Amino acid sequence: MKTAITELFGIEHPIIQGMHFVGFAELAAAVSNAGGLGIITGLTQKTPELLAKEIARCRDMTDKPFGVNLTFLPTFAAPPYPEYIAAIVEGGIKAVETAGRSPEQYMPALKAAGIKVIHKCTSVRHSLKAERIGCDAVSVDGFECGGHPGEDDIPNMILLPRAAEELKIPFVASGGMADGRSLVAALSLGAAGMNMGTRFIATKEAPVHQNVKNALVAATELDTRLIMRSLRNTERVLKNANVDRLLEIEHAKGDKLTIDDIHDQVAGVYPRIMLDGQMDAGAWSCGMVAGLIHDIPSCKELIDRIMGEAEQIIRGRLLGFLDGTGATRKVA
């Protein structure tokens, strides 16, 4: 399939991946080898030197293009972003996914290195800002997404066509994407591809504890919760014992909540969950799309399946409606 996104990043399929404590070289290389755009999560590497090593490790595992995510979120200690960017540039990376705050101040350095920048946005106004400051593409993250959906609560059924109405640069749909149906829907709504987070955690190559993958297969679309709303740092996470505790604290404190009140449930919990498989250790990002995850394929099996399903839906189901043979066909 060729879209503005496959052409922009030089990839075979318009499918992107990227996540904290999951986006290591193993997963990024597996996604890129399968024809998508694998993304190493920059800040999961504690220092720019470690990121440089992770980029080199990924390069050993794939000769296909892969990218790095740089997330500008309120964190407990601000990372040295210019040094991370230097590691990205020196590592020969040509695709950077930015997220959180605007990447404006870092655009000159990224553009000077010939890097294509895709900024993740949860609103049309932020997408337009990204376009204005010279981003090459946008990843439009709807309310259903795992991680930080912003504070507008607009689901992709509305957000994507709204983005299509306003944007000139290409965009991918992010949030709730799982399969060929998602991809075709995203294309129909104006996107040129899709970004998947949660779905890629439940793959053979995702370097996370088996308990995490099993939890995703077991979870339904009803099992995510929104936390940190009153801090205006809303995050969609998978429900567990510590998330229940966190929500009790949030409820009790109301508008008086500070990050210190919930520090134990949100800070530094990823290694215990993702590496040790302690599923109640704290809050970890997870999308409603968990309800559509029923297996743990390899990245290649997943991407091939998505592309096969997409083709079947377009050529069979959709064309069938037009040529009059589709009325009796089963839903894909």
Ligand X SMILES: Cc1cc2nc3c(=O)[nH]c(=O)nc-3n(C[C@H](O)[C@H](O)[C@H](O)COP(=O)(O)O)c2cc1C
User: Which residues of this protein are in contact with ligand X, per CB under 6 A?
Assistant: 18-20, 22, 41, 69, 71, 99, 120, 141, 144-147, 174-177, 195-199, 284-287, 289
Amino acid at position 242, single letter: N
Minimum separation from the CB atom of position 262 to ligand X (A): 18
Q: Measured at CB, which residue is nearest to ligand X?
A: 197
Give the residue with the Cβ less far from ligand X, 116 or 120.
Answer: 120
Give the residue with the Cβ less far from ligand X, 101 or 125.
Answer: 101
Minimum separation from the CB atom of position 326 to ligand X (A): 29
Give the residue with the Cβ less far from ligand X, 29 or 216.
Answer: 216
Give the residue with the Cβ less far from ligand X, 6 or 41.
Answer: 41
Give me Rg for the CA atoms of the chain. 19
Contacts of 245 (CB under 8 A, 6+ apart): 265
Minimum separation from the CB atom of position 19 to ligand X (A): 4
Q: 314: which DSSP letter? A: I
Minimum separation from the CB atom of position 17 to ligand X (A): 8
The secondary structure of 144-200 as a DSSP string is T-SB---SS---HHHHHHHHHHH-SS-EEEESS--SHHHHHHHHHTT-SSEEESHHH
Minimum separation from the CB atom of position 280 to ligand X (A): 16
Q: How far apart are CA 225 and CA 260, in angstroms?
A: 20
Task: Name the β-bridge partners of 140.
Answer: 121, 173
Give the residue with the Cβ less far from ligand X, 167 or 290.
Answer: 290
Minimum separation from the CB atom of position 304 to ligand X (A): 19
Give the residue with the Cβ less far from ligand X, 262 or 290.
Answer: 290
Minimum separation from the CB atom of position 213 to ligand X (A): 12
Give the residue with the Cβ less far from ligand X, 251 or 294.
Answer: 294
Count of residues in the chain:
332
Q: How far apart are CA 309 and CA 186, in angstroms?
A: 14
Minimum separation from the CB atom of position 131 to ligand X (A): 18
Decide: 6 and 116 in contact? Cβ < 8 Å: no
Task: Name the β-bridge partners of 95.
Answer: 116
CA 4 to chain centre: 19
Decide: 171 and 140 in contact? Cβ < 8 Å: yes
Contacts of 55 (CB under 8 A, 6+ apart): 25, 40, 68, 87, 88, 91, 92, 93
Tokens of 198: 């949660």
User: Terminus-to-terminus CA distance in the chain, angstroms?
Assistant: 19
Decide: 100 and 148 in contact? Cβ < 8 Å: yes
Pairing between β-strand 224-227 and β-strand 235-238 as defined by DSSP bridges: antiparallel
Give the residue with the Cβ less far from ligand X, 207 or 316.
Answer: 207
Minimum separation from the CB atom of position 39 to ligand X (A): 8
Give the residue with the Cβ less far from ligand X, 106 or 284.
Answer: 284
